[in-house]
Every structure is written in structure tokens, then in C-alpha cells.
Amino acid sequence: RIDIAEHWMKEHPFVPAALKPSAMALPAFVEKFGSIFEHSPWIAERAFDMELGPAHDSAGGLHNALARAFRSASADERLGVLRAHPDLAGKLAQAKRLTAESTAEQASAGLDALTDAERETFTTLNAAYVEKFGFPFIIAVKGLTKDQILAAFRTRIDNSRDEEFATACAQVERIALLRLKDMLPE
């Protein structure tokens, strides 16, 4: 019997089932997806309450539910999500106190290896942006260079608050989608 079991394990190894958000209990769902929107597990809780089905077992499907929960939140709640995001290349990054997701995202754009002059530029722009809008500059950095990020920073700082609030919310949703694509099939 042991020979049969060993043969079976060798020839037919256990492959865990794909992650199925629609089959998860609330605590496990929030633990797994509560950080998709930075420091805002309440979005995952509200998405879970939408009675998720098999259509939500993909990155795009679950993103749809999470984005609906985010969009249906009050303006103050959405502002709270924006304010939960760290400054790009800011003090938290320098102190190594970012979430694992933010650390990886900022590193992918080279924001963890800035020159002193570049760091000073980011610091100055971050301060001016927060002063004007009341929340940090948010951009989905994955696939962007630091020069592209700085160009967007300089352009967007001239937006109105309403324009920038909408743009920042759209960027938060894009960050969420990119994070989900790292966890779930398309």
C-alpha cells in the first residue's frame, strides 16, 4: 500500500485549488484582500457583502466588486483611502515603513534608488501637492520610470481639486487592479 501511495503522490501530486474569492468566508476574504486598497479593509468587507459569485474569482471580476464598493463610499471615506497612501519616495519609504505592496511598487519604478537631488524634488513636490489637495500624490507606478512619474506629478499639480480627486481615485483603482493581477488569474 505504501508503494501505491508513493507512486500516486509522485505521479499525481496534490495541486491546490485556485484561489476562489467567492468561496471564502468573510475573515479569510478580508485577510487576503483587505490590503488591496491601502489600509482600507472596509472596502473588502463591503465587496464581500455584495454576495460574490464565480464571476468574481478573477482579477477583473473581483476588481469590479471592490471598485464598486469604493465608488459607492462617501466622498469622506474615499478621501480617507487617498490619505492612507504614502508619499512617493517619502519619509515612510526612507524609514522602510511602507506596506510590502507599496515597497515593491515603488522599488519597481526605481523610487528606492533616488539621487539626493531626485529625493529633494520628490519631497518638494509631495509637500506642494499635499498642501494644495489635502492628500498625497497617487499614481500606479508599475511600468513607469521615475521620469514619467515626475512628469505626471508636475502636470497634475496644476489640476483643480475636483479633477485631482477623480484622478487620484482612478489611480487607486488601477493600483488595486494591478495588485489583484498578481494574486488571481485574469
Q: Tens digits of per-residue pLDDT, 4-51?
A: 777 667 666 544 557 899 999 999 999 999 999 989 999 999 999 999
12 carries an active-site annotation: no
- Taking the C-alpha atoms of residue 57 and residue 139, their distance in angstroms, rounded to an integer, is 26
User: Which of the residue ranges 6-15, 94-103, 148-157 has the most confident prediction, judged by mean pLDDT?
Assistant: 148-157
Give me the chain's average pLDDT, please. 88
Q: Contact at 8 Å (CB) between 122 and 149?
A: no
| Domain spanning 80-181: CATH 3.40.50.11440 | no
Taking phi over 0 as left and psi of -120 to 50 as alpha, with beta for the rest, 143 belongs to left
pLDDT of 66 > 60? The answer is yes
Stretch 91-107: mean pLDDT, rounded? 62
Domain with CATH 1.10.3330.10 in the chain: 80-181
- Taking the C-alpha atoms of residue 60 and residue 76, their distance in angstroms, rounded to an integer, is 26
Residue 78: CB atoms within 10 A of its CB come to 21
